[in-house]
Amino acid sequence: MPFSIEEAGPGRLKASGQLGFETAAEALRAGLAHIGNGRPWTIDLSGVTSGDSAGIAVMVEWLSVATADGAVLAFESVPAQMLAIARISGLEELILGQSG
């Protein structure tokens, strides 16, 4: 299943599909098309069916771009598989810290 991200209300994005090695470049571009404009965003990842370390890297890059633009980016419903990778990589606080 390919990755997609779309607006789901004011300041909300809904991600779905695979967020991993095969879709990382596409996911990065799709996310950056929405974020980085100074607006706060919450990305709902409940529709993400699978993810890996490349997906975590995409999320970190989204955070970096948003932060550089002075925006706040939060993630919700991060899949357990991706949280485990973030934990092992020492990135769990970064990923979850952005969601309050």
In order of start, what are the domains of the chain with their CATH numbers? 4-97 (3.30.750.24)
Distance set, CA 47 to CA 59, 66, 84, 90 (Å): 15, 22, 17, 24
What pLDDT score was predicted for residue 38?
81
How confident is residue 99, by pLDDT bands cut at 50, 70 and 90? very low
What pLDDT score was predicted for residue 7?
95
Over the chain, what is the mean pLDDT? Answer: 93
What pLDDT score was predicted for residue 3?
96
Q: Which of residues 14 and 69 earns the better pLDDT score?
A: 14
Radius of gyration, alpha carbons of the chain: 12
How confident is residue 37, by pLDDT bands cut at 50, 70 and 90? confident
* Predicted model pTM: 0.93
What pLDDT score was predicted for residue 33?
93
User: What 3-state class would DSSP assign to 85?
Assistant: helix
Average pLDDT over residues 32-41: 87
The residue length of the chain stands at: 100
